[in-house]
Structure 1
């Protein structure tokens, strides 16, 4: 009979967890009973704040610096955190960046920086996590935070879309390869979420109108974290290779536009 994989380490590493979706995910997983590894690139204060919230939830936390432009060496932080926390059961590849530049105006260094952070880094971090999980023989979870732009293009975001699209397909390949080891690999694809990356930090999304999004507003980081927390649990063992949009229905709009519509006239057909 196939082996059951339900006892993987209750340790989760979340990259880029000093703010936004990463911070919310760290807290959600702590509440779910995971010890947490937090990483940051420049906001050490934010990372320490996340760690305080994790510890307030009764879980252990370790904080490390991680710069995904310094590859391949930077990915060693995954093993460092796993060693410090006594194992690794969940990796959430959340750290990311982007630019708003037309393809014809995108410099190669800009292109490489986005690809490094949004694709090369998650690949190397996931590779290290998967190797540890295979060695442990207890299974695990790898969850990649992509974007609705894993699925749909956006003008001025060629590098970002290329990286997130690539990460989406990497997710599927890893899901196929790692399933026999009890490791599921999924993507979570946020739409517009009220975070520093979208210039909406500390904004209540329920007070912001987005007529072109069926739900009518941006999302909250905690709404993304809730989906990650579900996928991180043993009970999600039969879900792998999927991409979970958390976008208020934005992708359903297709050619009708989405977040940049100025009115709700589309609702009238």
Structure 2
């Protein structure tokens, strides 16, 4: 049984780090002293901007395109980044997509696109990183960015909900199997975060009113990155198989929201 308390990370890979939570995470890990592998799917310019920010902090940054729907090519991309970095001590699976199609209207192609991006591709990437960590023999940190919808469903998001539920369960099983190698595996489950994915690019979340969230606003990507950085650090040595909600208390509103909603608008998603 390898010791998780002696973990001393030097390298990280963050998928989908061209913007939003991924970019904030790459910067947070660079601030913690790690060299960072950065991936992008459609925004190379954004990925290069992330890399510039990492380098401005005195850390190495390498950039590569990753398409998680290309499940055969995804592992090769992770391996290539690890080779360039000289290893991978921390892997953050952040790449993902959303959909907003009612269950009865959902076509199989859209279903598979979401499942391939969020779950099948994540499996391939996490496995590639884990195999390298085992081979390196110095422990590791595996972190998946899921969603509050890993734990609670949302109307109009059946494929997204299924993918995030599945990813959460995958990571918890990984935690059981990889513990003997000194590798921890955890989920971070954001609520509404002001990012391009939610149509809130460069907005100040403190200026947006969200009455249904106890803290009264969306989150900032850096608030999610701070939790990821902790889980990536030596300080998190006794945390594994957990899901950390970063949601302003959103998940706690279930029963209260249910008893206070007076109309049926929520059925429209």
Q: CA deviation at 1:3?
A: 3.5
1:226-252 per-position Cα deviation (integer Å, ceiling 9, x unaligned):
000000001211000000000000000
Tell me the SS of whatever aligns to 2:213.
coil
Tell me the SS of whatever aligns to 1:197.
helix
- 2:267 is aligned to none
- 1:80 is aligned to 80
1:235-246 → structure 2 map (5 Å cutoff): 235-246=235-246
Q: CA deviation at 1:8?
A: 4.7
Contact 1:9–1:87, Cα closer than 8 Å, also in 2 = no
- 2:143 is aligned to 143
2:191 pairs with 1:191: yes
Q: CA deviation at 1:207?
A: 0.2
Give the TM-score, by structure 1 length: 0.94
Tell me the SS of whatever aligns to 1:72.
helix
- 1:4 is aligned to 3
Give the TM-score, by structure 2 length: 0.94
Q: CA deviation at 1:72?
A: 1.9
Question: Distance between the aligned counterparts of 1:152 and 1:9, measured in 2?
Answer: 33
Unaligned runs of 5+ in 2: 263-269
Tell me the SS of whatever aligns to 1:141.
strand
- 1:62 is aligned to 62
- 1:154 is aligned to 154
CA RMSD of aligned residues (A): 1.5
2:227 pairs with 1:227: yes
Unaligned runs of 5+ in 1: 263-269
Question: Distance between the aligned counterparts of 1:144 and 1:7, measured in 2?
Answer: 19
Question: Distance between the aligned counterparts of 1:256 and 1:153, measured in 2?
Answer: 16
1:54-96 per-position Cα deviation (integer Å, ceiling 9, x unaligned):
0001100000000111122222111100000101100000000
Question: Distance between the aligned counterparts of 1:214 and 1:100, measured in 2?
Answer: 25
- 1:32 is aligned to 32
Moved over 4 A (4+): none
- 1:248 is aligned to 248
Tell me the SS of whatever aligns to 2:156.
coil
Question: Distance between the aligned counterparts of 1:211 and 1:55, measured in 2?
Answer: 39
Question: Distance between the aligned counterparts of 1:51 and 1:136, measured in 2?
Answer: 25
Question: Distance between the aligned counterparts of 1:172 and 1:3, measured in 2?
Answer: 19
- 1:43 is aligned to 43
Count, aligned residues: 260
- 1:105 is aligned to 105
1:165-184 → structure 2 map (5 Å cutoff): 165-184=165-184
Structure 1 pair 71–3 and aligned structure 2 pair: CA distance change class (3 A):
closer
